[in-house]
Structure 1
Amino acid sequence: MQYRAYIYILVVSYIIDDSACKVPFTYFYSGDVPMTSFDTLSTSTSQDNAVGHFLYAMMSAFPLFFIPVLISFWLNLIQKNIQPNSLLASHLRWQRLSIIGLCPFFIAGYLLSPVWLSVSLYLIGITWFSYRIFKGWVSLNEGLMV
């Protein structure tokens, strides 16, 4: 029971303090030779990029009447606990600018009366948007900022 209490204290102190936690192995080792050295638990500062992958997937489903894109934009805007200069923050900014940048193409395509001009603006906008999704998603997989 003593090791459970120690692990609980360790976990609580790890959550409260971001610095590296030192764990004495004497609590976990019950052999003949006592080990008094300390080992440092790794505190990874890397963020979970699953949110970015999910939002890119939602954006890539744009042929479904752009409803997934709007949901992706809303989910992107409500992300508050992202560090400003992190990899995920740069991709969230890239996604927001991609969605906002698509709007002028669609507004201009809707307002222009010649059909051939409207269709060409829609195609240019969709091609540009697809390029941004592809480039961003590949960069996120490789761990690069955009």
Structure 2
Amino acid sequence: IRITGTDISDAAIQQASIGRFRDVEIQRGMKQAFLDKYFTREPNAWKIKDEIRAMVVYRRLNLLEPFAGLGPFDLILCRNVAIYFNAMARKCLFERLLKELTPDGYLFVGSSESLTDLGPQFIPQHHCRAVFYQPNKQALLAAAV
């Protein structure tokens, strides 16, 4: 397993790479069994175990700029970011993310975000009251011809 975490902020990357989360940050629905398995308790915080941190690489990334070659990824979480972009920047972002997804990959966006206006490139999937997207292989093949 390889996990790539990105942010435009060096400070956010530095904080995330430490792997230490305050109680208020981590207790947003995370089950105790999960905490016990993957984290170590510290005073007023939880620290992610070293074997998990070893799977993660952090990179500075501006989503408005080209970023080809990061993937391929089986899963991309791009939540509550594109809502701040204009329509053209948003379209370009999701087209670039599509190129970084594996053919059977999953793209999760924020609950207030939708990709249905971007054409047939993404197929919405519904599970447990959540909507996520997968590449539309047929549309991508047709566009490549």
Alignment TM class, shorter chain as reference: under 0.3
TM-score (norm 1): 0.21
Larger fraction in helix: 1
TM-score (norm 2): 0.21
Larger fraction in strand: 2
Q: Computing the radius of gyration over CA atoms, which structure comes out larger, 1 or 2?
A: 1
